[in-house]
Amino acid sequence: MKIIGVYSIKGGVGKTATTVNLAYLSAASGHRTLVWDLDPQGAATYYFRVKPHLKGGGKALVTGGHHLDDLVKGTDFAHLDLLPADSGPAARGRQGADQATAAAAAPPVRGL
């Protein structure tokens, strides 16, 4: 087994595109490949047209809150599977949770 991580603190430098393309090339070469989308925005999950359903994210998986076999999703490509991004409010950070709460509590705007 080989593990490849793509990392940069700078945004917009092609981390997700690099990951998705490397994963595809690996799978196309016949290697069983798993992409673990740790980005709260879930761009790799979006690339592979998978709906994120992982609540609790990587932390829940690592601490035993989830079983890996139940969370891995197939993609449209042979030998290529995906562990989707966490779609819960905690993954979007505290600000995301506050915005979701505020949006749910806000009255609808009429007459615009």
In percent, the amount of the chain with pLDDT more than 70 equals: 65
Domain ranges of the chain: 15-102
Q: Work out the average pLDDT over 31-51.
A: 90
- Tell me phi and psi for residue 109, to 5 degrees: -90, 125
Q: Per the CATH hierarchy, to which homologous superfamily does domain 15-102 belong?
A: P-loop containing nucleotide triphosphate hydrolases (3.40.50.300)
Mean pLDDT over the full length of the chain: 77
CA 107, CA 89: separation in Å to the nearest integer? 21
Residue 20, pLDDT > 50, answer yes
CA 88, CA 91: separation in Å to the nearest integer? 6
Q: Per the structure block, which two tokens stand in for 56?
A: 């609790």
Find all residues with CB under 8 Å of 76, minimum gap 6, and list them.
48, 49
Residue 58, pLDDT > 80, answer no
